[in-house]
Copies of this chain bind each other. A is one copy, B any other.
């Protein structure tokens, strides 16, 4: 098996352990991988001689969201395919990521094959047959209201009629993927 045709790949991921593991796996599959532990600046983007064909973008880098970075990436590298990856997956951020230009969106944990499949635009065609769990529905609702509150946790808590402390705790937990 030869090198993949589109093989310049970036990982933008601040979790070093995960990023390194993923990088090694992908290099073994023949990709030329660059690991960015934080979002590249515009200066860095403009001095890139070999544009990436694919970018794996972690949604949350430190306390920053990467969503606003997607349009900048698409401007700098119009043909680059972006897959967003996150441990805090929500429908609301999935919608935003795809609207911003990502080709796909995955919840961690995601295997290398899941990620590569996501670049190919392969998503499970299966329709869910069960309704969301109460827990999951709550998470999705919280995420949506939080976004509408401009990321302001106190305001979201007021709108949700939930105690701020409780909301903080819920936001700190990763939701079960269903």
Instruction: Report A's interface with B, CB cutoff 8 A.
Output: 59-60, 65, 87-96, 98-99, 103-105, 107, 114, 117, 121, 123-135, 137-138, 140-142, 144-145, 148, 159-162, 178
Closest chain-B Cβ to A95's Cβ sits at a distance in Å of 5
Determine the chain B residues whose CB is within 8 A of the CB of A133 once the complex forms. 160-162
Instruction: Check A123 against B87 for contact (C-beta < 8 Å).
Output: no
Instruction: Check A123 against B92 for contact (C-beta < 8 Å).
Output: yes
A/B interface sample: 14 pairs, CB < 8 A:
A88-B128, A88-B132, A90-B91, A91-B105, A92-B126, A93-B127, A93-B128, A95-B123, A98-B98, A99-B103, A131-B145, A137-B138, A137-B141, A161-B178
Q: Assuming the A-B contacts A107-B140, A127-B60, A132-B141, are A91 and B88 also in contact, with contact meaning beta carbons closer than 8 angstroms in the complex?
A: no
Instruction: Check A148 against B131 for contact (C-beta < 8 Å).
Output: yes
User: Which of B95, B126, B138 interacts with A134 by CB under 8 Å?
Assistant: B138
Determine the chain B residues whose CB is within 8 A of the CB of A134 once the complex forms. 138, 141-142, 160-162
Instruction: Check A91 against B107 for contact (C-beta < 8 Å).
Output: yes
A87, A123, A126, most chain B CB atoms within 10 A: A123
Instruction: Check B161 against A128 for contact (C-beta < 8 Å).
Output: no
